Chains A and B, each alone.
Chain A
Protein backbone atom coordinates (compact mmCIF):
# COMPACT_ATOMS: atom_id res chain seq x y z
CA UNK A 1 0.00 0.00 0.00
CA UNK A 2 1.43 3.37 -0.91
CA UNK A 3 0.89 6.49 1.13
CA UNK A 4 -2.19 7.70 -0.69
CA UNK A 5 -3.84 4.28 -0.59
CA UNK A 6 -3.05 4.04 3.11
CA UNK A 7 -4.60 7.47 3.74
CA UNK A 8 -7.74 6.54 1.83
CA UNK A 9 -8.00 3.19 3.58
CA UNK A 10 -7.51 4.65 7.05
CA UNK A 11 -9.92 7.52 6.34
CA UNK A 12 -12.52 5.03 5.24
CA UNK A 13 -12.06 2.97 8.42
CA UNK A 14 -12.42 6.14 10.50
CA UNK A 15 -15.51 7.34 8.62
CA UNK A 16 -17.10 3.94 8.99
CA UNK A 17 -16.55 4.04 12.75
CA UNK A 18 -18.71 7.16 12.97
CA UNK A 19 -21.29 6.22 10.35
CA UNK A 20 -22.06 2.82 11.78
CA UNK A 21 -23.20 4.35 15.06
CA UNK A 22 -25.63 6.88 13.57
CA UNK A 23 -28.61 4.50 13.73
CA UNK A 24 -27.70 3.62 17.34
CA UNK A 25 -28.36 7.06 18.71
CA UNK A 26 -32.07 7.42 18.15
CA UNK A 27 -32.37 10.59 20.24
CA UNK A 28 -29.72 12.36 18.23
CA UNK A 29 -31.35 11.21 15.02
CA UNK A 30 -34.73 12.52 16.06
CA UNK A 31 -33.25 15.80 17.23
CA UNK A 32 -31.26 16.20 14.03
CA UNK A 33 -34.45 15.73 12.03
CA UNK A 34 -36.81 17.81 14.09
CA UNK A 35 -34.54 20.80 14.54
CA UNK A 36 -34.34 21.85 10.87
CA UNK A 37 -38.05 21.23 10.35
CA UNK A 38 -38.80 23.39 13.39
CA UNK A 39 -36.53 26.16 12.11
CA UNK A 40 -38.18 26.09 8.70
CA UNK A 41 -41.68 26.19 10.11
CA UNK A 42 -40.92 28.88 12.72
CA UNK A 43 -39.26 31.27 10.31
CA UNK A 44 -41.79 30.66 7.58
CA UNK A 45 -44.82 31.23 9.79
CA UNK A 46 -43.46 33.88 12.17
CA UNK A 47 -41.76 36.14 9.65
CA UNK A 48 -43.40 34.92 6.47
CA UNK A 49 -46.19 37.47 6.41
CA UNK A 50 -44.29 40.54 7.56
CA UNK A 51 -41.15 40.49 5.45
CA UNK A 52 -41.06 41.25 1.77
CA UNK A 53 -37.88 41.13 -0.27
CA UNK A 54 -37.49 42.98 -3.54
CA UNK A 55 -37.25 40.54 -6.42
CA UNK A 56 -39.09 37.77 -4.55
CA UNK A 57 -42.87 37.68 -4.54
CA UNK A 58 -42.76 35.12 -1.77
CA UNK A 59 -40.53 35.37 1.35
CA UNK A 60 -40.35 31.57 1.62
CA UNK A 61 -38.47 31.32 -1.67
CA UNK A 62 -35.93 33.77 -0.23
CA UNK A 63 -35.82 32.40 3.27
CA UNK A 64 -35.68 28.64 2.83
CA UNK A 65 -32.32 28.54 1.00
CA UNK A 66 -31.00 30.69 3.85
CA UNK A 67 -32.18 28.16 6.40
CA UNK A 68 -30.71 25.29 4.39
CA UNK A 69 -27.46 27.13 4.39
CA UNK A 70 -27.56 27.89 8.10
CA UNK A 71 -28.47 24.32 9.07
CA UNK A 72 -25.65 22.87 7.06
CA UNK A 73 -23.18 25.29 8.61
CA UNK A 74 -24.43 24.52 12.12
CA UNK A 75 -24.03 20.82 11.34
CA UNK A 76 -20.28 21.31 10.99
CA UNK A 77 -20.08 21.84 14.76
CA UNK A 78 -20.37 18.07 15.19
CA UNK A 79 -16.79 17.86 13.99
CA UNK A 80 -15.31 19.89 16.82
CA UNK A 81 -17.34 18.07 19.45
CA UNK A 82 -16.45 14.65 18.06
CA UNK A 83 -12.74 15.33 17.85
CA UNK A 84 -12.63 16.92 21.28
CA UNK A 85 -14.27 13.78 22.62
CA UNK A 86 -11.74 11.46 20.96
CA UNK A 87 -8.97 13.65 22.30
CA UNK A 88 -10.19 13.89 25.88
CA UNK A 89 -11.00 10.18 26.06
CA UNK A 90 -7.44 9.29 25.08
CA UNK A 91 -8.46 7.78 21.75
CA UNK A 92 -6.33 10.30 19.87
CA UNK A 93 -3.34 9.12 21.92
CA UNK A 94 -4.03 5.56 20.89
CA UNK A 95 -4.46 6.53 17.22
CA UNK A 96 -1.30 8.60 17.24
CA UNK A 97 0.63 5.62 18.60
CA UNK A 98 -0.44 3.54 15.57
CA UNK A 99 1.44 3.47 12.27
CA UNK A 100 -1.53 5.06 10.50
CA UNK A 101 -2.01 8.08 8.25
CA UNK A 102 -1.98 11.35 10.19
CA UNK A 103 -4.75 13.05 8.26
CA UNK A 104 -7.07 10.03 8.18
CA UNK A 105 -8.61 10.65 11.59
CA UNK A 106 -9.82 14.12 10.57
CA UNK A 107 -10.73 13.16 7.02
CA UNK A 108 -12.83 10.26 8.32
CA UNK A 109 -14.47 12.52 10.88
CA UNK A 110 -15.29 15.36 8.46
CA UNK A 111 -16.55 12.98 5.77
CA UNK A 112 -18.83 11.16 8.19
CA UNK A 113 -20.16 14.50 9.46
CA UNK A 114 -20.79 15.46 5.86
CA UNK A 115 -22.87 12.33 5.33
CA UNK A 116 -24.80 13.07 8.49
CA UNK A 117 -25.41 16.62 7.29
CA UNK A 118 -26.67 15.35 3.97
CA UNK A 119 -29.20 13.16 5.78
CA UNK A 120 -30.48 16.15 7.73
CA UNK A 121 -30.53 18.20 4.56
CA UNK A 122 -32.65 15.60 2.79
CA UNK A 123 -35.24 15.72 5.56
CA UNK A 124 -35.24 19.47 5.43
CA UNK A 125 -35.70 19.62 1.69
CA UNK A 126 -38.75 17.38 1.88
CA UNK A 127 -40.17 19.50 4.69
CA UNK A 128 -39.61 22.69 2.70
CA UNK A 129 -41.55 21.24 -0.21
CA UNK A 130 -44.43 20.40 2.10
CA UNK A 131 -44.37 24.04 3.25
CA UNK A 132 -44.61 25.26 -0.32
CA UNK A 133 -41.01 25.76 -1.41
CA UNK A 134 -40.33 25.10 -5.12
CA UNK A 135 -37.24 25.06 -7.34
CA UNK A 136 -37.45 28.03 -9.68
CA UNK A 137 -34.74 26.75 -12.01
CA UNK A 138 -33.68 23.37 -13.34
CA UNK A 139 -32.91 20.35 -11.20
CA UNK A 140 -29.28 20.74 -12.24
CA UNK A 141 -29.31 24.24 -10.78
CA UNK A 142 -30.75 22.87 -7.55
CA UNK A 143 -28.10 20.16 -7.41
CA UNK A 144 -25.38 22.75 -7.98
CA UNK A 145 -26.87 24.94 -5.26
CA UNK A 146 -26.88 22.02 -2.84
CA UNK A 147 -23.32 21.14 -3.81
CA UNK A 148 -22.11 24.65 -3.01
CA UNK A 149 -23.82 24.63 0.38
CA UNK A 150 -22.54 21.20 1.29
CA UNK A 151 -19.01 22.01 0.19
CA UNK A 152 -18.99 25.15 2.34
CA UNK A 153 -20.24 23.16 5.31
CA UNK A 154 -17.48 20.62 4.66
CA UNK A 155 -14.90 23.40 4.59
CA UNK A 156 -16.14 24.69 7.96
CA UNK A 157 -15.82 21.14 9.32
CA UNK A 158 -12.06 21.53 8.91
CA UNK A 159 -12.18 24.79 10.84
CA UNK A 160 -14.17 22.93 13.48
CA UNK A 161 -11.59 20.13 13.50
CA UNK A 162 -8.94 22.64 14.49
CA UNK A 163 -11.21 24.03 17.22
CA UNK A 164 -11.94 20.54 18.55
CA UNK A 165 -8.22 19.80 18.82
CA UNK A 166 -7.38 23.18 20.33
CA UNK A 167 -9.84 23.18 23.22
CA UNK A 168 -9.39 21.04 26.30
CA UNK A 169 -12.81 19.48 26.72
CA UNK A 170 -15.98 18.44 24.99
CA UNK A 171 -17.89 21.17 26.82
CA UNK A 172 -15.47 23.80 25.59
CA UNK A 173 -15.75 22.42 22.06
CA UNK A 174 -19.49 22.68 22.34
CA UNK A 175 -19.34 26.42 23.03
CA UNK A 176 -16.32 27.26 20.91
CA UNK A 177 -17.75 25.34 17.98
CA UNK A 178 -21.16 27.03 18.09
CA UNK A 179 -20.65 30.56 19.33
CA UNK A 180 -19.21 32.08 16.15
CA UNK A 181 -21.88 30.46 14.01
CA UNK A 182 -24.48 32.92 15.24
CA UNK A 183 -22.84 36.12 13.99
CA UNK A 184 -21.63 34.23 10.93
CA UNK A 185 -25.12 33.18 9.88
CA UNK A 186 -27.19 36.13 11.15
CA UNK A 187 -24.99 38.97 9.94
CA UNK A 188 -25.61 37.79 6.42
CA UNK A 189 -28.17 37.65 3.67
CA UNK A 190 -29.69 34.43 5.00
CA UNK A 191 -32.84 35.95 6.56
CA UNK A 192 -33.04 39.57 5.43
CA UNK A 193 -31.68 41.78 2.71
CA UNK A 194 -28.42 43.27 4.09
CA UNK A 195 -29.33 46.67 2.63
CA UNK A 196 -31.87 47.03 5.46
CA UNK A 197 -29.04 46.82 8.04
CA UNK A 198 -27.07 49.81 9.43
CA UNK A 199 -24.29 50.76 7.00
CA UNK A 200 -21.32 49.19 8.78
CA UNK A 201 -23.21 45.98 9.45
CA UNK A 202 -24.28 45.82 5.84
CA UNK A 203 -20.62 46.01 4.80
CA UNK A 204 -19.78 43.13 7.15
CA UNK A 205 -22.72 41.09 5.93
CA UNK A 206 -21.77 41.57 2.31
CA UNK A 207 -18.17 40.56 2.92
CA UNK A 208 -19.25 37.48 4.88
CA UNK A 209 -18.44 34.31 2.90
CA UNK A 210 -21.62 32.83 4.28
CA UNK A 211 -23.52 35.58 2.41
CA UNK A 212 -21.69 34.75 -0.80
CA UNK A 213 -22.49 31.05 -0.50
CA UNK A 214 -26.09 31.67 0.52
CA UNK A 215 -26.65 34.12 -2.35
CA UNK A 216 -25.20 31.68 -4.86
CA UNK A 217 -27.39 28.84 -3.66
CA UNK A 218 -30.48 31.06 -3.42
CA UNK A 219 -30.07 32.28 -6.99
CA UNK A 220 -29.58 28.76 -8.29
CA UNK A 221 -32.57 27.35 -6.37
CA UNK A 222 -34.76 30.14 -7.72
CA UNK A 223 -33.48 30.06 -11.30
CA UNK A 224 -32.10 33.61 -11.03
CA UNK A 225 -28.79 34.73 -12.54
CA UNK A 226 -26.02 33.72 -10.14
CA UNK A 227 -23.25 36.03 -11.37
CA UNK A 228 -19.85 35.59 -9.74
CA UNK A 229 -21.26 34.22 -6.50
CA UNK A 230 -20.94 30.60 -7.57
CA UNK A 231 -17.25 30.91 -8.37
CA UNK A 232 -16.58 33.05 -5.34
CA UNK A 233 -18.24 30.59 -3.02
CA UNK A 234 -16.35 27.70 -4.61
CA UNK A 235 -13.12 29.64 -4.09
CA UNK A 236 -13.96 30.33 -0.45
CA UNK A 237 -14.65 26.65 0.25
CA UNK A 238 -11.60 25.33 -1.54
CA UNK A 239 -9.41 27.98 0.09
CA UNK A 240 -10.70 27.17 3.58
CA UNK A 241 -10.19 23.45 3.03
CA UNK A 242 -6.65 23.99 1.74
CA UNK A 243 -5.61 26.18 4.66
CA UNK A 244 -7.41 24.45 7.50
CA UNK A 245 -6.66 20.89 6.43
CA UNK A 246 -3.00 21.78 6.66
CA UNK A 247 -3.24 23.52 10.04
CA UNK A 248 -5.59 20.95 11.56
CA UNK A 249 -3.51 17.98 10.42
CA UNK A 250 -0.40 19.57 11.84
CA UNK A 251 -2.23 20.26 15.07
CA UNK A 252 -3.43 16.67 15.21
CA UNK A 253 0.13 15.40 14.87
CA UNK A 254 0.96 17.22 18.12
CA UNK A 255 -2.27 16.65 20.04
CA UNK A 256 -2.37 14.51 23.13
CA UNK A 257 -4.66 14.18 26.10
CA UNK A 258 -3.79 16.33 29.08
Chain B
Protein backbone atom coordinates (compact mmCIF):
# COMPACT_ATOMS: atom_id res chain seq x y z
CA UNK B 1 0.00 0.00 0.00
CA UNK B 2 1.17 3.46 -0.86
CA UNK B 3 1.07 6.49 1.36
CA UNK B 4 -2.09 6.80 3.40
CA UNK B 5 -3.87 9.99 2.52
CA UNK B 6 -5.90 12.03 4.97
CA UNK B 7 -8.44 12.69 2.24
CA UNK B 8 -8.87 10.62 -0.87
CA UNK B 9 -11.40 10.45 -3.68
CA UNK B 10 -11.12 7.91 -6.47
CA UNK B 11 -13.32 8.13 -9.52
CA UNK B 12 -16.16 9.75 -7.61
CA UNK B 13 -19.30 10.29 -9.69
CA UNK B 14 -22.40 12.10 -8.51
CA UNK B 15 -25.47 12.81 -10.56
CA UNK B 16 -28.42 15.04 -9.66
CA UNK B 17 -31.10 14.19 -12.18
CA UNK B 18 -29.66 15.28 -15.51
CA UNK B 19 -26.77 17.19 -13.94
CA UNK B 20 -23.48 15.37 -13.71
CA UNK B 21 -22.12 17.21 -10.68
CA UNK B 22 -19.02 15.02 -10.28
CA UNK B 23 -17.67 13.20 -13.31
CA UNK B 24 -14.97 10.94 -11.87
CA UNK B 25 -13.09 13.09 -9.39
CA UNK B 26 -9.71 11.92 -8.08
CA UNK B 27 -8.13 13.72 -5.18
CA UNK B 28 -5.47 12.82 -2.62
CA UNK B 29 -4.51 15.07 0.26
CA UNK B 30 -1.59 13.97 2.47
CA UNK B 31 -1.95 14.41 6.23
CA UNK B 32 -1.10 17.90 7.42
CA UNK B 33 -1.37 19.50 4.00
CA UNK B 34 -3.54 22.42 2.97
CA UNK B 35 -5.20 21.79 -0.38
CA UNK B 36 -7.29 24.21 -2.33
CA UNK B 37 -10.14 22.99 -4.50
CA UNK B 38 -10.51 25.77 -6.99
CA UNK B 39 -13.29 26.20 -9.48
CA UNK B 40 -16.07 28.49 -10.66
CA UNK B 41 -19.63 28.34 -9.39
CA UNK B 42 -21.24 24.99 -10.20
CA UNK B 43 -17.90 23.22 -10.70
CA UNK B 44 -18.67 20.55 -8.10
CA UNK B 45 -16.77 21.88 -5.07
CA UNK B 46 -19.64 21.66 -2.58
CA UNK B 47 -20.69 18.28 -3.92
CA UNK B 48 -17.14 16.98 -3.38
CA UNK B 49 -17.12 18.30 0.18
CA UNK B 50 -20.54 16.77 0.85
CA UNK B 51 -19.40 13.37 -0.37
CA UNK B 52 -16.29 13.54 1.83
CA UNK B 53 -18.25 14.63 4.88
CA UNK B 54 -20.85 11.83 4.54
CA UNK B 55 -23.69 14.17 3.63
CA UNK B 56 -24.35 12.65 0.23
CA UNK B 57 -23.52 9.25 -1.19
CA UNK B 58 -21.59 9.05 -4.43
CA UNK B 59 -23.10 7.14 -7.35
CA UNK B 60 -19.73 5.56 -8.13
CA UNK B 61 -16.16 5.64 -6.89
CA UNK B 62 -14.81 5.70 -3.35
CA UNK B 63 -13.99 8.40 -0.85
CA UNK B 64 -11.97 7.90 2.31
CA UNK B 65 -10.85 9.94 5.31
CA UNK B 66 -7.69 8.61 7.00
CA UNK B 67 -8.27 5.48 4.96
CA UNK B 68 -11.82 5.02 6.29
CA UNK B 69 -14.57 4.66 3.70
CA UNK B 70 -17.19 7.39 4.03
CA UNK B 71 -19.99 5.09 2.93
CA UNK B 72 -19.06 2.02 4.96
CA UNK B 73 -18.11 3.68 8.25
CA UNK B 74 -19.67 7.13 8.25
CA UNK B 75 -19.61 7.48 12.04
CA UNK B 76 -15.86 6.79 12.21
CA UNK B 77 -15.35 9.38 9.52
CA UNK B 78 -17.52 11.88 11.39
CA UNK B 79 -15.36 11.54 14.49
CA UNK B 80 -12.35 12.76 12.50
CA UNK B 81 -13.70 15.63 10.50
CA UNK B 82 -14.80 19.19 10.98
CA UNK B 83 -17.08 20.81 8.43
CA UNK B 84 -17.54 24.49 7.78
CA UNK B 85 -20.11 24.55 5.04
CA UNK B 86 -20.86 27.18 2.45
CA UNK B 87 -23.34 28.93 4.79
CA UNK B 88 -22.40 29.72 8.38
CA UNK B 89 -24.15 26.90 10.24
CA UNK B 90 -24.82 28.56 13.56
CA UNK B 91 -27.96 28.82 15.67
CA UNK B 92 -28.70 32.53 15.55
CA UNK B 93 -30.87 32.43 18.64
CA UNK B 94 -28.02 31.22 20.85
CA UNK B 95 -24.96 33.10 22.03
CA UNK B 96 -21.54 32.30 20.58
CA UNK B 97 -20.59 30.39 23.71
CA UNK B 98 -23.84 28.43 23.74
CA UNK B 99 -23.33 27.43 20.11
CA UNK B 100 -19.89 26.04 20.92
CA UNK B 101 -20.94 24.22 24.10
CA UNK B 102 -23.93 22.80 22.23
CA UNK B 103 -21.78 21.21 19.53
CA UNK B 104 -19.24 20.07 22.13
CA UNK B 105 -21.97 18.24 24.00
CA UNK B 106 -23.14 16.55 20.82
CA UNK B 107 -19.58 15.21 20.59
CA UNK B 108 -20.15 13.86 24.13
CA UNK B 109 -17.32 15.92 25.54
CA UNK B 110 -19.20 16.41 28.81
CA UNK B 111 -20.48 19.82 29.82
CA UNK B 112 -17.37 20.87 31.76
CA UNK B 113 -14.98 19.87 28.99
CA UNK B 114 -17.24 21.46 26.35
CA UNK B 115 -17.25 24.73 28.30
CA UNK B 116 -13.49 24.66 28.60
CA UNK B 117 -13.00 24.06 24.88
CA UNK B 118 -15.57 26.75 24.08
CA UNK B 119 -13.64 29.27 26.18
CA UNK B 120 -10.35 28.43 24.44
CA UNK B 121 -11.87 28.70 20.99
CA UNK B 122 -13.61 31.99 21.77
CA UNK B 123 -10.25 33.45 22.77
CA UNK B 124 -8.46 31.99 19.80
CA UNK B 125 -11.00 33.27 17.29
CA UNK B 126 -11.19 36.70 18.81
CA UNK B 127 -14.78 36.28 19.94
CA UNK B 128 -14.27 36.52 23.69
CA UNK B 129 -15.78 40.01 23.89
CA UNK B 130 -18.95 38.88 22.15
CA UNK B 131 -19.05 35.40 23.67
CA UNK B 132 -22.30 35.94 25.51
CA UNK B 133 -24.11 37.90 22.84
CA UNK B 134 -26.80 36.32 20.71
CA UNK B 135 -25.38 35.46 17.29
CA UNK B 136 -28.22 37.17 15.42
CA UNK B 137 -26.42 40.50 15.74
CA UNK B 138 -23.04 39.20 14.54
CA UNK B 139 -21.32 40.42 11.39
CA UNK B 140 -20.59 37.99 8.56
CA UNK B 141 -16.96 37.74 9.58
CA UNK B 142 -17.81 36.97 13.22
CA UNK B 143 -20.29 34.29 12.17
CA UNK B 144 -17.70 32.68 9.96
CA UNK B 145 -15.14 32.65 12.75
CA UNK B 146 -17.69 31.11 15.11
CA UNK B 147 -18.61 28.62 12.41
CA UNK B 148 -15.00 27.48 12.08
CA UNK B 149 -14.57 27.40 15.86
CA UNK B 150 -17.62 25.10 16.04
CA UNK B 151 -16.09 22.70 13.58
CA UNK B 152 -12.88 22.57 15.65
CA UNK B 153 -14.50 21.80 18.99
CA UNK B 154 -13.54 18.12 18.96
CA UNK B 155 -10.05 18.63 17.48
CA UNK B 156 -10.72 17.10 14.07
CA UNK B 157 -7.79 15.77 12.11
CA UNK B 158 -9.27 16.94 8.82
CA UNK B 159 -11.05 20.23 8.33
CA UNK B 160 -13.25 21.06 5.36
CA UNK B 161 -13.84 24.70 4.55
CA UNK B 162 -16.34 25.31 1.76
CA UNK B 163 -15.83 28.82 0.40
CA UNK B 164 -14.84 30.24 3.78
CA UNK B 165 -14.60 33.83 2.58
CA UNK B 166 -17.41 34.10 0.04
CA UNK B 167 -19.64 36.99 0.99
CA UNK B 168 -17.17 38.55 3.41
CA UNK B 169 -15.98 42.13 3.14
CA UNK B 170 -12.28 42.55 2.24
CA UNK B 171 -11.17 43.16 5.81
CA UNK B 172 -12.95 40.11 7.20
CA UNK B 173 -11.50 38.11 4.34
CA UNK B 174 -7.97 39.06 5.36
CA UNK B 175 -8.81 38.12 8.96
CA UNK B 176 -10.14 34.77 7.80
CA UNK B 177 -6.95 34.13 5.84
CA UNK B 178 -4.93 34.64 9.01
CA UNK B 179 -7.19 32.19 10.85
CA UNK B 180 -6.75 29.55 8.16
CA UNK B 181 -3.00 30.05 8.03
CA UNK B 182 -2.84 29.48 11.79
CA UNK B 183 -4.79 26.26 11.43
CA UNK B 184 -2.42 25.06 8.77
CA UNK B 185 0.53 25.88 11.00
CA UNK B 186 -1.00 23.66 13.70
CA UNK B 187 -0.82 20.65 11.41
CA UNK B 188 -4.53 20.23 10.72
CA UNK B 189 -5.20 18.81 7.28
CA UNK B 190 -7.31 21.35 5.45
CA UNK B 191 -9.29 21.02 2.26
CA UNK B 192 -10.67 24.40 1.33
CA UNK B 193 -12.76 25.29 -1.68
CA UNK B 194 -12.76 28.66 -3.28
CA UNK B 195 -13.73 30.62 -6.35
CA UNK B 196 -11.04 33.14 -5.57
CA UNK B 197 -7.82 32.37 -7.35
CA UNK B 198 -5.92 34.76 -5.15
CA UNK B 199 -7.16 32.92 -2.09
CA UNK B 200 -6.00 29.49 -3.25
CA UNK B 201 -2.66 31.03 -4.20
CA UNK B 202 -2.21 32.51 -0.76
CA UNK B 203 -3.44 29.63 1.43
CA UNK B 204 -2.97 26.35 -0.38
CA UNK B 205 0.31 24.55 -0.94
CA UNK B 206 -1.35 22.46 -3.62
CA UNK B 207 -4.23 23.50 -5.84
CA UNK B 208 -6.67 21.18 -7.55
CA UNK B 209 -8.55 22.91 -10.33
CA UNK B 210 -12.04 21.56 -10.90
CA UNK B 211 -14.45 22.46 -13.69
CA UNK B 212 -17.74 20.86 -14.64
CA UNK B 213 -17.21 17.97 -12.24
CA UNK B 214 -13.73 17.06 -13.47
CA UNK B 215 -10.27 17.76 -12.15
CA UNK B 216 -8.57 19.64 -14.97
CA UNK B 217 -5.23 20.45 -13.35
CA UNK B 218 -3.27 20.05 -10.18
CA UNK B 219 -0.07 21.54 -8.89
CA UNK B 220 1.52 24.11 -6.65
CA UNK B 221 0.47 27.68 -7.35
CA UNK B 222 3.82 28.25 -9.09
CA UNK B 223 3.51 25.14 -11.23
CA UNK B 224 0.07 26.19 -12.33
CA UNK B 225 1.26 29.65 -13.18
CA UNK B 226 4.10 28.36 -15.30
CA UNK B 227 1.58 26.38 -17.35
CA UNK B 228 0.75 29.49 -19.30
CA UNK B 229 4.32 29.33 -20.52
CA UNK B 230 6.08 32.31 -19.08
CA UNK B 231 5.42 35.89 -18.19
CA UNK B 232 3.21 38.64 -19.52
CA UNK B 233 4.58 41.90 -20.78
CA UNK B 234 2.43 44.97 -20.39
CA UNK B 235 3.36 48.10 -22.31
CA UNK B 236 1.70 51.51 -22.10
CA UNK B 237 2.43 54.14 -24.71
CA UNK B 238 1.93 57.88 -24.53
CA UNK B 239 -0.15 58.51 -27.68
CA UNK B 240 -3.00 56.41 -28.99
CA UNK B 241 -2.22 57.24 -32.64
CA UNK B 242 1.00 55.20 -32.35
CA UNK B 243 -1.01 52.07 -31.63
CA UNK B 244 -0.57 50.30 -34.98
CA UNK B 245 3.10 51.12 -35.06
CA UNK B 246 3.69 49.84 -31.53
CA UNK B 247 1.85 46.60 -32.32
CA UNK B 248 4.03 45.94 -35.34
CA UNK B 249 7.17 46.57 -33.31
CA UNK B 250 6.07 44.34 -30.45
CA UNK B 251 4.82 41.35 -32.42
CA UNK B 252 8.19 39.91 -33.50
CA UNK B 253 9.59 40.25 -29.98
CA UNK B 254 6.83 38.27 -28.24
CA UNK B 255 5.92 34.59 -28.14
CA UNK B 256 2.24 35.02 -28.87
CA UNK B 257 -0.52 37.34 -29.91
CA UNK B 258 -0.38 40.93 -28.75
CA UNK B 259 -3.62 41.79 -26.98
CA UNK B 260 -4.93 45.32 -26.91
CA UNK B 261 -6.10 46.22 -23.40
CA UNK B 262 -7.14 49.76 -24.15
CA UNK B 263 -6.10 52.49 -26.59
CA UNK B 264 -2.63 52.78 -25.19
CA UNK B 265 -1.95 49.49 -23.39
CA UNK B 266 -0.89 46.16 -24.85
CA UNK B 267 -0.29 42.80 -23.29
CA UNK B 268 1.74 39.98 -24.79
CA UNK B 269 3.34 36.74 -23.60
CA UNK B 270 7.12 36.61 -23.46
CA UNK B 271 9.60 33.95 -22.44
CA UNK B 272 10.39 34.47 -18.80
CA UNK B 273 14.00 35.27 -18.05
CA UNK B 274 14.87 36.51 -21.57
CA UNK B 275 16.20 40.00 -21.74
CA UNK B 276 13.17 41.04 -23.73
CA UNK B 277 12.34 44.19 -21.82
CA UNK B 278 15.41 46.25 -22.86
CA UNK B 279 14.98 45.26 -26.50
CA UNK B 280 11.30 46.19 -26.39
CA UNK B 281 12.06 49.61 -24.98
CA UNK B 282 14.88 50.14 -27.48
CA UNK B 283 12.79 48.99 -30.47
CA UNK B 284 9.87 51.22 -29.51
CA UNK B 285 12.20 54.14 -28.96
CA UNK B 286 13.86 53.61 -32.36
CA UNK B 287 10.42 53.58 -33.97
CA UNK B 288 9.60 56.87 -32.32
CA UNK B 289 6.92 55.56 -29.91
CA UNK B 290 6.94 57.25 -26.52
CA UNK B 291 6.78 54.57 -23.81
CA UNK B 292 5.02 55.43 -20.56
CA UNK B 293 5.37 52.19 -18.70
CA UNK B 294 6.60 48.63 -19.10
CA UNK B 295 5.56 45.96 -16.63
CA UNK B 296 6.37 42.26 -16.58
CA UNK B 297 3.98 40.19 -14.55
CA UNK B 298 3.81 36.52 -13.79
CA UNK B 299 0.44 35.18 -14.89
CA UNK B 300 -2.31 35.21 -12.29
CA UNK B 301 -4.35 32.13 -11.67
CA UNK B 302 -7.03 33.81 -13.74
CA UNK B 303 -4.73 33.50 -16.73
CA UNK B 304 -4.10 29.89 -15.76
CA UNK B 305 -7.78 29.15 -15.64
CA UNK B 306 -8.32 30.76 -19.00
CA UNK B 307 -5.46 28.75 -20.47
CA UNK B 308 -6.80 25.50 -18.98
CA UNK B 309 -10.49 25.85 -19.70
CA UNK B 310 -10.84 28.43 -22.41
CA UNK B 311 -13.21 30.41 -20.23
CA UNK B 312 -12.75 32.84 -17.41
CA UNK B 313 -13.31 31.82 -13.82
CA UNK B 314 -14.54 35.02 -12.34
CA UNK B 315 -16.04 35.03 -8.88
CA UNK B 316 -17.60 38.38 -9.66
CA UNK B 317 -19.56 37.12 -12.60
CA UNK B 318 -20.47 33.85 -10.89
CA UNK B 319 -23.42 34.65 -8.74
CA UNK B 320 -26.07 32.67 -6.83
Query: Are A and B physically bound partners?
Result: yes
28 interchain pairs (CB within 8 A)? Answer: A10-B106, A13-B105, A17-B91, A20-B98, A21-B93, A24-B93, A24-B134, A89-B88, A89-B90, A90-B89, A93-B50, A93-B53, A93-B55, A93-B85, A93-B89, A94-B83, A94-B85, A94-B89, A94-B103, A96-B55, A97-B53, A97-B55, A97-B78, A99-B76, A99-B79, A256-B56, A257-B86, A257-B87
Tell me the B154-176 residues at the A interface (CB within 8 Å): none
Q: Is the CB of A90 within 8 A of B85?
A: yes
B151 on interface, CB distance cutoff 8 Å: yes
Known A97-B55, A98-B106: A17·B94 in contact at CB below 8 Å? yes
Could you tell me the dominant secondary structure of chain B's interface residues? loop
A95-B106, A97-B78 known; 5 new pairs, CB 8 Å cut-off, are A17-B102, A24-B134, A94-B151, A96-B54, A99-B78
- Chain A residue nearest to B75 in the complex (CB): A99
User: When A91-B91, A93-B55, A256-B56 are in contact, do A99 and B107 touch as well, CB less than 8 Å?
Assistant: yes
Instruction: Tell me the nearest residue of chain B to A12, going by C-beta.
Output: B105
CA distance A1 to B75 in the complex (A): 15
A1 to B86, CA, bound (A): 32
The digit string for A77-100, where 1 denotes a CB below 8 A from any CB of B, is: 000000000000111011111111
User: Does the CB pair B98–A97 fall under 8 Å?
Assistant: no
Cβ of B122 under 8 Å from chain A:
no
- Known A21-B93, A90-B87, A93-B89; judge A256-B107 contact (CB<8 A): no
B108 at the interface (CB under 8 A from A): yes
Interface residues on B, range: 20 to 34
* Top 9 A-B pairs, shortest CB-CB distance: A90-B89, A90-B87, A94-B89, A99-B78, A21-B93, A97-B83, A90-B85, A97-B53, A256-B55
Q: Which residues of B contact A20 (CB under 8 A)?
A: 94, 98
Residues of B within 8 A of A17 (CB): 91, 94, 98, 102
CA distance A93 to B83 in the complex (A): 8
A95 to B107, CA, bound (A): 10
Q: Say which size band chain A's interface belongs to.
A: 20 to 34
Q: How many A-B residue pairs have CB under 8 A?
A: 69
Interface residues of A (CB under 8 A from B): 1, 6, 9-10, 13, 17, 20-21, 24-25, 89-91, 93-100, 256-257
CB of A145 to closest CB in B, whole Å: 33
Report whether A13 and B88 are in contact in the complex, using a CB–CB cutoff of 8 Å: no
Q: Does B150 touch A at the CB level, under 8 Å?
A: yes
Contact (Cβ within 8 A) A257 B102: no
Instruction: For A256, list chain B residues within 8 Å (CB).
Output: 50, 55-56
Nearest CB on A from B112, distance (A):
15
Q: Tell me, in angstroms, the Cα distance from A93 to B52 when the chains sit together.
A: 12
* Cα separation A1 to B105 with both chains bound (whole Å): 13
Chain A residues positioned under 8 Å from B150 (CB to CB): 94
Within the complex, what minimum Cβ distance (angstroms) separates B171 from chain A?
24
In the complex, what residues of B have CB within 8 A of residue A99's CB? 75-76, 78-79, 107
Residues of chain B within 8 A (CB-CB) of A90 are: 85-89
Q: Check if B81 is an interface residue, CB within 8 A of chain A.
A: yes
Which residues on the A side are within 8 Å of B79 (C-beta)? 99
Closest to B52 in A: A97
Closest to B105 in A: A13
Instruction: Determine which residue in A20, A96, A97 has the highest number of CB atoms from chain B within 10 A of its CB, and name it.
Output: A97
A79–B103 alpha-carbon span in the complex (Å): 21
| Distance in angstroms between the alpha carbons of A102 and B78 in the assembled complex | 13
Which B residues from 34 to 56 make CB contacts under 8 A with A?
Answer: 50, 53-56
Residues of chain B with a CB closer than 8 A to A9's CB: 108
Q: In whole angstroms, how far apart are the Cα atoms of A17 and B75 in the complex?
A: 23
- Chain B residue contacts of A1, Cβ below 8 A: 108
Q: Which residues of B contact A93 (CB under 8 A)?
A: 50, 53, 55, 83, 85, 89
CA distance A256 to B21 in the complex (A): 15
Name the CB-closest residue of A to B111. A13
Contact status A6-B93, CB under 8 Å:
no
Residues of B near A257 (CB, < 8 A) are 85-87
Question: Would B106 and A100 count as touching, CB distance under 8 A?
Answer: yes
A95 CB contacts on chain B under 8 angstroms? 106
A10 to B105, CA, bound (A): 8
Chain A residues, CB < 8 A from B78: 97-99
Closest B residue to A6 by CB, please name it: B108
CB distance from B134 to the nearest CB of A (A): 7
Which residues on the B side are within 8 Å of A21 (C-beta)?
93-94
Taking a contact as CB atoms under 8 Å apart, the answer to whether B134 and A13 are in contact is no
Q: Which of B54, B55, B98 lies at the interface centre, i.e. has the most chain A CB atoms within 10 A of its CB? A: B55
Chain A, Cβ-Cβ closest to B50: A256
Q: Which residue among B88, B98, B102, B108 has the maximum number of chain A CB atoms within 10 Å of its CB? A: B108
